[in-house]
Amino acid sequence: MPAVAVPFAVRSLEDGIGSAYGLGSMLIEIAIFAVLIYVALRFLWATRGSVIVRGLGLVLVVAAVGYAALTSMFTLSRLEFLVEQLAPSLVLGLVVVFHPEIRRAIVQIGDASLFRRFFRRDTKIVPRLLRAIARMSKERHGALIAIERDSSLAELTENGITIDAELNSYLIESIFYPKSALHDGGVVVRGDRIVAASCLFPLSQNPEVDKRLGTRHRAALGLSEDTDAFVLVVSEETGKISTASGGKLDFDLTLEQLEQQIDAALGRKQGS
């Protein structure tokens, strides 16, 4: 009896180890697929002007599903041979044609909020922004500042002047000084750094927007419609402070209201 029980126990142990190994492999594969799907969805969501890429992706998915369905139901050896021969060239061609979007996707992966959480530092961005906004409002120096959140603004910074400097109030004021070469356009802020200045933001195409809105306000609204950026505006005519978020403009804010909105946009707790 013991002689029979020992081999059985060994086999049971081996089966258990094999099952655990198989489960671990399956979990790893699921994790890899989840990461790939996350990266692809983030790229398609965050990249402005990616309608062509999205349309192409939809066409490729439909084509792949249709091909798999046909080959599973019928014997299509010639079609399979043709696809096997053309697939590498097709992939290479797509890489060549869409290399700017691919490069942008790699940048967005590095800028993803999922990764930024691991490198987040205590920042003084809010008081520095408030000091700059307060002085520019008093002097009636027009300003347009976009704070990047989950949606990458890398595409916008490419058409501006690279700054890549730690955010401070004096630098912001010097950029938007009326006689500065960089005062036209907007500034992009990522984390606690000024990424670029003199950036061109998309103007809102909403037909219901008040026609009396200036270019800065229309640009702030347009960017907030296309991305989740939080945009600050100082009017050159009146010095009044406005913000744009989620396709909505808030006018004539006090510094206290502005601070509350920035804190909410950055996910900060009041008094932290």
Q: What is the pLDDT of residue 121?
A: 47
The angle that helices 77-97 and 51-73 make with each other, rounded to 10 degrees, is: 170
The strand pairing partners of 250, in sequence order, are 243
pLDDT at 56: 67
**Tell me, what's the pLDDT at 84?**
78
Three-state helix/strand/coil letters over 237-254:
CCCCEEEEECCEEECCCC
Q: SS3 of 120, please?
A: coil
| CATH class of residue range 123-266 | alpha beta
Q: What is the pLDDT of residue 55?
A: 67
Q: Torsion angle of alpha carbons 53, 42, 45, 227, nearest 10°? A: -130
Quickly count: other Cβ atoms within 10 Å of residue 7's Cβ. 9
Neighbour count for residue 116 (Cβ, 10 Å)? 14
Alpha helix (H) residue ranges in 113-214? 113-116, 125-139, 154-157, 169-175
Per-residue pLDDT at 120: 47
pTM given for the model:
0.61
Environment class of 75 (CB within 10 Å of its CB; exposed 0-12, middle 13-18, buried 19+) = exposed
* Residue 201: strand, helix, or coil: coil
Domain residue spans of the chain? 2-116, 123-266
Please list the pLDDT of the chain residue by residue as tens digits (272 residues).
Answer: 455 555 655 556 556 665 666 677 778 878 887 777 776 666 665 554 455 666 666 777 777 787 777 777 777 777 777 777 877 887 777 777 666 666 655 655 555 555 555 444 446 889 999 999 999 999 999 999 999 988 889 889 988 999 999 999 999 999 999 999 999 999 999 989 999 999 999 999 888 888 788 999 999 999 999 899 999 999 999 999 999 999 999 999 999 999 999 999 887 544 44
- pLDDT in the model for residue 193: 92
Describe the strand order of the beta sheet including 241-245 as a list of residue ranges: 161-166, 193-199, 186-190, 143-147, 230-234, 241-245, 248-250
Give the integer Cα–Cα distance in Å for 103 and 54.
16
